[in-house]
């Protein structure tokens, strides 16, 4: 059997592997294909694609966007993106700017609580355009200001805690459209994590392509439930480990195994979507 892992992060967002290290891990785990889904960036895709090609495994470009629908946060995975698509790059640039501003705000709030975390420590540790809460948590641990990443989230960073600052959130409808105009497929990430099944019909109406049925944090029962939902709404089935390298303990790459026939369905679907888009634009003239 051939398997894929379609939810992976690198140092270009909050993972700890370089794209090269990630691909080496994929090879080690015998994966037939991977997708890179860093938060609000496609920067690592070029290197990962090159490494995958050299290693003889399949590569799918991707990103993970934070969106909202009916006041609910939803993460959307974009797959098969044209990583040079202008509108995509403009929008993710805006998300990155907000992420950077948000680090300033989070550190200021942590300082107000009497914890002397330095902004420079966080930015040096993050060393990317798309920094996030895990970088703040890791900087707190590194400086010996707290004991664990969990403590960082529990005391400061979780939603509702004093240093929690929201991210820029595009509407899910706009995010799906942004992904489509960049030639990609839009997939709802880890639905079981947020327990927000009520928004699925609305996303389907907005032309959602797929749903991440297999994920590290999904129980077998959850995966089965989302497979049924995928079937009901004719959605593609995806899956991935959401590996962040050593950012949150042990690397998870390869622990979630998506049977390769789902990758083949995704490929057929993106080809069909692009053909439809092309014939629609040629009809308009």
Site of interaction with Zn ion (CB under 5 A): 9, 14
Longest dimension (CA), the chain: 63
Per the listing, tokens 């706009």 go with 174
**Residue 95 binding result from Zn ion, ligand AMP, Fe ion, none, given CB thresholds of 5 to 8 Å by partner type:** none
68 binds Fe ion (CB under 5 A): no
**Residue 40 binding result from ligand AMP, Fe ion, Zn ion, none, given CB thresholds of 5 to 8 Å by partner type:** none
215 binds ligand AMP (CB under 6 A): no
In the set 23, 149, 200, 203, which binds ligand AMP (CB under 6 A)? 149
In the set 132, 183, 192, 245, which binds ligand AMP (CB under 6 A)? 132
Least distance in angstroms from the C-beta of 167 to Fe ion:
11
Q: Contacts with ligand AMP: how many residues (CB under 6 A)?
A: 11
111 φ/ψ angles, rounded to the nearest 5 degrees: -65, -40
133 binds Fe ion (CB under 5 A): no
210 φ/ψ angles, rounded to the nearest 5 degrees: -155, 175
In the set 5, 38, 209, 242, which binds Fe ion (CB under 5 A)? 242
CA dihedral 243, 248, 250, 255 (to 10 degrees): -30
Strands, sheet with 3-5, edge to edge from the N-terminal-most edge strand: 58-60, 33-35, 3-5, 258-259
91 binds Fe ion (CB under 5 A): no
Q: 170, 11, 207, 149: which is closest to 92 by C-alpha? A: 170
Least distance in angstroms from the C-beta of 255 to ligand AMP:
15
Cβ partners under 8 Å of residue 184, min gap 6: 61, 62, 78, 79, 80, 81, 82, 270
Q: How many residues does the chain have?
A: 285
Stretch that binds ligand AMP, among 82-90, 111-119, 130-138, 214-222 (CB under 6 A): 130-138
192 binds ligand AMP (CB under 6 A): no
In the set 153, 156, 214, 226, which binds ligand AMP (CB under 6 A)? 153
Identify whether the C-beta of residue 152 lies closer than 8 Å to the C-beta of residue 247.
no
Q: Contact positions toward ligand AMP, by CB under 6 A?
A: 14, 39, 132-134, 149-150, 153, 158, 167, 248
């Amino acid at each position: 059997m051939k398997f894929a892992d379609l939810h992976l992060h690198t140092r270009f967002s909050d993972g700890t592997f370089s794209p090269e290290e990630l691909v080496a891990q994929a090879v080690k785990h015998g994966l037939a294909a991977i997708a890179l889904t860093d938060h609000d960036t496609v920067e690592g895709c070029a290197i990962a694609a090159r490494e995958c090609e050299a290693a003889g495994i399949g590569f799918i470009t991707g990103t993970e966007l934070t969106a909202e629908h009916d006041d609910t946060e939803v993460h959307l995975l974009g797959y098969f993106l044209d990583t040079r698509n202008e509108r995509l790059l403009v929008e993710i640039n805006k998300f990155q700017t907000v992420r950077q501003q948000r680090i300033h705000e989070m550190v200021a709030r942590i300082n107000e609580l009497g914890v002397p975390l330095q902004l420079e420590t966080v930015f040096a540790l993050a060393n990317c355009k798309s920094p996030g809460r895990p970088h703040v948590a890791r900087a707190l641990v590194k400086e010996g200001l707290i004991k664990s990443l969990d403590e960082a989230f529990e005391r400061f960073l979780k939603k509702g805690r004093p240093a929690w600052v929201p991210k820029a959130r595009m509407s899910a409808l706009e995010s799906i459209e942004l992904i489509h105009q960049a030639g990609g497929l839009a997939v709802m990430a880890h639905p079981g994590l947020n327990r927000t099944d009520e928004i699925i019909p609305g996303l389907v109406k907005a032309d959602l392509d797929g749903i991440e049925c297999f994920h590290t944090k999904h129980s077998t029962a959850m995966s089965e439930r989302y497979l049924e939902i995928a079937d009901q709404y004719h959605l593609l089935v995806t899956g991935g480990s959401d590996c962040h390298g050593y950012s949150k303990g042990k690397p998870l790459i390869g622990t979630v195994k998506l049977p390769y026939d789902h990758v083949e369905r995704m490929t057929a679907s993106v080809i069909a979507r692009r053909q439809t888009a092309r014939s629609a634009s040629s009809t308009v003239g």
